[in-house]
Amino acid sequence: MLLQKKIKISSLKNNFLNLIAFTIPLSKNLLPILIITTLILAIFEGDLARKAKHYKNLLFLLLPLLYLLYIAGMIHTQHIDTGFFDLQQKLVFVVFPLIWFAHNFDKEEFLSNLLMSFIWGCVAACIICLFNAAYSYYLSENNDVFFYTKFSVIFHPSYFALYLCFALILLLFRNNLITSQWFLYALQLFFIFMIILTQSKSGILSLIIILAYKLGYTLFYLKNLKKSLSFFFFTLFFVGVFFVFFPQSLNRIFQLEQTMYNKNKEINSTKSRLIVWQDALHVFKQHFFVGVGTGDVKDALIQEYLKKGEHEVAQKHLNAHNQFLQTAVAIGITGLMWLFLIFYILISKSIKNHQAFIFLFAVICVINLLFESMFETQAGIVFVTFFSSLFLALFQKRSFYF
């Protein structure tokens, strides 16, 4: 009777984990409820003594120790309320490792089901955005509704593009997820076009890296010249056709070029990033060892903006728009180095275990962390920690999924 109850709880927990994966690209409001429920189920599942053994591992400690550094940053913070809110948001640094490292990966199809749940969540999010854009176009007859923030209505385009890039990676490198080749190719092209519609610069950069890696992987690792050339020209043709019919999709790329060469004097997203990066780096140098404190980052940055006369940036209350700088300003060089260590281990372990999809997951996360303070929003921190913890747990268990 006790065994049956345990099996039911474990099965229910697996369903909630799949639901979290499905919900990540769809709704940020449901996620806290789903995460708390999953953690409660993991506790009531039992086997606490067995689970505790998996917590005595460096891979498990990577994210919780980063959280501990943020707790230490509360010692010298002045804005206690802001600091506690930050700690509450970053609690997933502890929750997801507790769930994943104690998880019993006893069913071979579990990982495939989980990853497919995320992919279908991305498909559902894209359909919602397309229907909303189509309806807006019907009302306004303005093509702009199919691009950037007007298109990505659920999440900011940078985060939405990140989700879609990872979904594309899964379709390109986890061949067992979808059996129909034609449907697989159609879904891959669908995500490529959706990423372009977001007009996220970090998303476009990630897309280029993903497609280039796929081409090199097929050509040099699989040694399949015919397949690699077919993939290259097929993708190039459809993307080229897309740009011909939707030239607006290149607008933000042109904006980047104009800003880099000082042709554009207005404060756009690219120029504001350059400003906040310089100022955040200056604040970090002043508080090199321990940072300004967990709750004082925004205040310290705004003071720096005002000191430099950058009033427009200060009025927007912009964060560092770079998680590495954001962490460095908050908790100093130790936090920065520990954050680097997390992704170094993810990348090195994925290379050692020949897991291209985890390698590219880590790469696109690093790219987006360079352009966004992703741990300062639920949309970023849940995605990164959910899958990072999962992959670290699989590495620790040397799972048969690999």
Can you tell me the mean pLDDT for 395-400?
Answer: 75
Whether the predicted pLDDT of 25 surpasses 80: yes
User: Which residue in the block uniquely carries the two structure tokens 């997801």?
Assistant: 96
Side-chain-side CA neighbours of 352 within 13 Å: the count stands at: 9
Whether 23 contacts 124, CB under 8 Å: no
Domain limits of the chain? 2-257+327-397
Q: Is 319 helix (H, G, I), strand (E, B) or coil?
A: coil
Q: Summarize pLDDT for 49-90 with one digit per residue, the tens.
A: 777 777 888 899 999 999 999 999 999 999 999 999 999 999
What pLDDT is stored for residue 58 in this prediction? 87
User: What is the rounded CA–CA span in Å between residue 74 and residue 58?
Assistant: 24
C-beta of residue 135 within 8 angstroms of C-beta of residue 83:
no
Mean residue pLDDT of the chain comes to 89
Distances (CA, A) of 23 to 34, 153, 300: 9, 15, 35
Question: With contact defined as beta carbons under 8 Å apart, do 9 and 44 qualify?
Answer: yes
Confidence at residue 1, expressed as pLDDT on a 0 to 100 scale: 47
What phi and psi, each to the nearest 5 degrees, are found at residue 209? -65, -40
pTM of the model: 0.93
| pLDDT of 273 above 90 | no
DSSP state of 218: I
Which of 383, 401, 393 is CA-nearest to residue 159?
383
Q: What are phi and psi of 401, to 5 degrees?
A: -65, -20
pLDDT tens digits along 224-244: 767 767 777 777 776 776 666
Least confident of 4-13, 173-182, 326-335: 4-13
